[in-house]
Amino acid sequence: MAKARHRGESWQHIAEPLGVSRQSAWEKYQFAGTSEDVEAAYAKAGPPAA
């Protein structure tokens, strides 16, 4: 998934071969990538809401 997203593929394009919705693909694979990608995403999101 990470390679597809880095190439600019849409979530819809990724979801179709998996047989899931665009939203489901995003929810499952949004953090696919390197550990640096994951850390950057969490840092950008901030702390969880209480």
* Two structure tokens written together for 50: 């209480």
pLDDT at 33: 66
pLDDT (tens digit per residue) in 1-50: 667 776 788 888 888 888 999 898 888 888 766 667 666 766 776 666 65
pLDDT at 34: 66
pLDDT at 36: 72
Between the alpha carbon of residue 18 and those of residues 10, 11, 21, 30, 38, the distances in Å are: 13, 11, 9, 15, 22
The domain segmentation of the chain, as residue ranges, is: 2-41
